[in-house]
Structure 1
Amino acid sequence: MNPLIERLTAKGVVVTEVEGRGQGARQMWVAHFIRPEQQTRRSPYLWEEIVIGTDGCLVGTAADHAFEQAGTWKAMLFFQHSDDVLELDLTQAKLLTRRDLIVETMDYADIYIVDPAYAWTYVIPHEADWGPYFSPK
């Protein structure tokens, strides 16, 4: 994960690492972005659920543009298979792109970013042919 943190800090993002909060972050994400009737049936990856059951989910370049336009100053980044969470302060950051966020290590390969109010999410799955996805709450 260090290369990710290095790329983020090089873009002016202040990164705070928080260990052991990944499970809670994933649960909050499900509560905010997956319809209640879908929450009992789970795909192996959370991002698969957002593709199936979220109205207004943007994909690919449209998702990238929506993320760029989100205009948040703070965000939380977490992963599918890790309990590590990164709190991001984007106040002084340069524009982040999908390339800045991609991680090759499997535990960190599926990336979920949310704003503090869980009003939107930006997801980069490990599957190169899928996503990214941007969805409002």
Structure 2
Amino acid sequence: MNVNTYRQEINQMIDSLPDEELGNVYGSIEFIHRKYLFKKNLLDKGVVILELFEEAQEIMDLWDRAFAKNMSNEIKEAIHYSQFKWHIFSYKKQKCLEKEEARNAFDALTKNELYVMYQNSPDVVFEYNNANDVVAADFDFEQDIYIFDKNFTWTYVHTHESMCGPFFYKIV
């Protein structure tokens, strides 16, 4: 199908929907548009994005071992770690920088190669190469995203809750 055919079919589908469904359509299109702009911004900065599927679980486990290694299973359960890993920061179980201090610390880093994972996407981890121009503001509309270096020495987390985070934690 060509672009004009897609547009015609999309318009026909929208025209056939009752008005009360248009909000759902708008929300879906807005989400797709926001994801497109997010990726386009990174690509415009020269970032090379790779999707890692086979290595995803191993990288996520390494994140756990690096940044939550001093957390007992009891503490993890009490703070609902399995729901959101970033609870180690919001529940003050891991000392970290927050808000603008976290953003500034992330922006000050040299970040040629990064891993990026999302709390609710356990099947894929992204590898960003040539990521030196990436800044905290690039992730402002992302939810429950974990950005960290390939040596697992620091992590930057942007949550879905405006009153929680962002967080920056560096292993000393």
TM-score range, shorter chain: 0.7 to 0.9
SS at match of 2:126: strand
Q: Is contact 2:113-2:129 (8 Å) kept?
A: yes
Residue in structure 1 matched with residue 113 of structure 2 by the alignment: 74
Give yes or no for the alignment of 1:100 onto 2:138. Answer: yes
Match of 1:111 among 125, 139, 145: 145
Give yes or no for the alignment of 1:122 onto 2:160. Answer: no
Q: How many matched pairs? A: 130
Distance 1:100 1:67 in 2: 11
TM-score (norm 2): 0.66
Larger Rg: 2
Residue in structure 2 matched with residue 45 of structure 1 by the alignment: 84
Q: RMSD in angstroms over aligned alpha carbons? A: 2.1
TM-score (norm 1): 0.81
Structure with greater contact order relative to length (CA < 8 Å, sep ≥ 6)? 1
The share of aligned pairs that are identical, in percent, is 28
Structure with the larger helix share:
2
Distance 1:20 1:4 in 2: 24
| Structure 2: stretches of 5+ with no match in the other structure | 1-34
Match of 2:94 among 49, 54, 62: 54
Q: Is contact 2:106-2:156 (8 Å) kept?
A: yes
Structure with the larger strand share:
1
